[in-house]
Amino acid sequence: MKLWSKESLVLGGAYGVLDTPFALSGLEIISEILFGLFIICIIMLCFNKTPKFISFMMNKYPKTSYYLTAIGWIPYFMIISFCLFVGCLYYIGFDEVIFRHFVFGLVFISLSAFMISLVIAYVRARKRR
pLDDT digits (tens, 9 = 90+) for 17-71: 888 888 888 888 998 999 999 999 999 988 888 889 998 988 999 888 888 889 8
Contact 19, 34 (CB under 8 A): yes
CA 52 to chain centre: 19
Contact 10, 61 (CB under 8 A): no
Contact 34, 22 (CB under 8 A): yes
Q: Per the domain annotation, does 1 fall within a domain? A: no
- How many residues belong to the chain? 129
Q: Which domain holds residue 118?
A: 6-128
Residues contacting residue 27 through CB under 8 Å, at least 6 positions apart: none
Give the pLDDT score at 79.
86
Number of domains in the chain: 1
